[in-house]
C-alpha cells in the first residue's frame, strides 16, 4: 500500500465552498528533477475557486488537488534535480496544482530558496501574484520606464504586487480601479499608486481620461473581463497593451462595445494564464524574479500584504472569505 497524506478535496469534484473536505490520498513520489516538499503554508487564488466550481481548464498533468503556491521544507529529491537544492532546504514555489496537501511534488526548476527574513506565510503569498504581475508587465505588456499602467481590481493579490512593481520600475503614472473608496485609498496611500478610481461611479472612465490628459493608459492589467472590456478600449492609449489575466465578471459580454477603437488605437488585447505555460517558461520567470525582485523583498522595498491566515482545517471559511471580494491582500492557510 502506498504511503498516504491528508489533502483538501472536493466532494463530487465540483461544488461550493462547503464541498471542500479533508481526504486521505496517496503521498506523491518525486519524479525526474522534482522535489518532495512538506508544505508549511499555501496561498489561495481565484483560480482555486474557478477550479472548485468547474470553470477552470486544469492542465491534465496538474491533478485534481487545488493549490498553486506554497512554502515548505524539502524532504526528498528525485534524480537530476537542481544541485542548488538539498534535503532540509526551506523553499517556496509555484506549482501546477496539489499545494492543498501535506506534501507536494514540484520541479526543482520552479523552486525558490526561502530567505530567513520571510515567514512561511509571507513566502507562500509571493509566487502566484508576483510572478503573474511580472509576466503581465514585462513579458506581455512590454513595460519600460516612463510608461503608464493601470491595474484593475487594485486590492487583489496580483494588483497589489503589480502596483509595487510599477512604482519601483519607474512608471510615469500608476493607476488602479476598485469597487470601494476604502480600497482606492489603500491603493494610493499604502501602495503608492498615482490615483485610483471607484468603478461603481458611472463617470470613472472620464476620470481616467482626465487624469491622463486625454491620452489614456499605455498598459492595462485586466483581472475583470467582460464588464470592463468596453471601458478598456476607451481608456487605452494608442498602441496600448491590455493583458487579460482574470475573469471576475464571468466570460460573457452583457453590453455593447466599440470595436473600432481596437483598430483605430492599434490596441493589442492579449489573454494569458500562467498555469498552462510549460516548465521552461516558468523557470525563466522564476529566474527573473529571483534576480530582480527578491532582493527588494529582503531590503524591505516590497511588501507581502496578507489579509488573513487560517489553519487549513478552516479551508471552507478561507474560500468564503476570498469569495466576498472584500480582501486587501492574500489569504493564507497553514499546515501544522
Q: What domains, with CATH codes, occur in the chain? A: 4-126+275-334 (3.90.180.10), 130-271 (3.40.50.720)
The pLDDT tens digits of the residues spanning 72-110 come to: 999 999 999 999 999 999 999 999 999 999 999 999 999
Kindly report the average pLDDT of the chain as a whole number. 94
- Ordered alpha helix ranges (H), 32-145: 46-52, 120-124, 127-134
Q: What is the mean pLDDT of residues 27-35?
A: 95
Cβ pair 71, 30 in contact under 8 A = no
Q: What is the mean pLDDT of residues 52-74?
A: 90
Task: Give the predicted TM-score (pTM) of the model.
Answer: 0.90
Query: Does the pLDDT value for residue 2 go beyond 70?
Result: no
Cβ pair 240, 215 in contact under 8 A = no
Half-sphere exposure of 203 (CA within 13 A, CB side): 3
With cell 519601483, the residue in question is 168
Share of the chain above pLDDT 90, in %: 81
The pLDDT tens digits of the residues spanning 154-171 come to: 999 999 999 999 999 999
Whole-number pLDDT of residue 1 = 39
The pLDDT tens digits of the residues spanning 40-58 come to: 999 999 989 999 999 888 8
Amino acid at each position: 500500500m502506498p504511503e498516504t497524506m491528508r489533502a483538501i478535496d472536493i466532494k463530487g469534484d465540483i461544488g461550493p465552498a462547503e464541498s471542500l473536505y479533508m481526504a486521505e490520498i496517496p503521498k506523491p513520489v518525486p519524479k525526474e528533477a522534482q522535489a518532495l516538499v512538506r508544505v508549511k503554508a499555501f496561498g489561495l487564488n481565484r483560480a482555486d475557486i474557478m477550479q472548485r466550481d468547474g470553470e477552470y481548464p486544469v492542465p491534465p498533468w496538474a491533478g485534481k488537488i487545488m493549490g498553486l503556491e506554497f512554502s515548505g521544507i524539502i524532504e526528498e529529491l528525485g534524480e537530476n534535480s537542481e544541485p542548488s537544492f538539498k534535503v532540509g532546504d526551506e523553499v517556496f514555489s509555484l506549482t501546477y496544482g496539489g499545494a492543498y496537501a501535506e506534501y507536494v511534488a514540484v520541479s526543482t526548476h520552479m523552486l525558490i530558496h526561502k530567505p530567513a527574513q520571510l515567514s512561511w506565510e509571507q513566502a507562500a503569498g509571493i509566487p502566484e501574484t508576483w510572478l503573474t504581475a511580472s509576466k503581465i508587465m514585462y513579458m506581455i505588456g512590454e513595460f519600460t520606464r516612463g510608461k503608464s499602467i493601470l491595474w484593475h481590481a487594485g486590492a487583489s493579490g496580483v494588483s497589489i504586487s503589480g502596483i509595487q512593481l510599477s512604482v519601483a520600475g519607474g512608471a510615469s503614472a500608476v493607476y488602479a480601479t476598485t469597487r470601494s473608496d476604502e480600497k482606492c485609498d489603500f491603493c494610493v496611500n499604502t501602495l503608492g499608486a498615482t490615483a485610483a478610481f471607484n468603478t461603481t461611479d458611472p463617470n470613472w472612465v472620464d476620470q481616467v481620461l482626465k487624469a491622463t490628459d486625454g491620452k489614456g493608459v499605455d498598459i492595462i492589467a485586466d483581472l475583470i473581463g467582460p464588464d470592463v472590456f468596453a471601458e478598456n478600449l476607451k481608456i487605452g492609449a494608442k498602441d496600448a497593451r491590455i493583458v487579460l489575466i482574470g475573469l471576475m465578471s464571468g466570460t460573457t459580454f452583457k453590453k455593447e462595445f466599440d470595436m473600432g477603437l481596437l483598430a483605430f488605437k492599434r490596441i493589442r488585447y492579449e489573454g494569458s494564464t500562467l498555469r498552462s505555460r510549460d516548465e521552461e517558461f516558468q523557470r525563466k520567470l522564476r529566474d527573473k524574479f529571483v534576480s530582480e525582485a527578491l532582493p527588494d523583498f529582503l531590503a524591505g522595498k516590497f511588501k507581502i500584504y496578507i489579509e488573513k491566515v487560517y489553519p487549513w482545517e478552516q479551508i471552507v471559511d478561507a474560500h468564503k472569505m476570498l469569495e466576498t471580494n472584500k480582501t486587501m491582500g492574500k489569504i493564507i492557510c497553514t499546515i501544522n
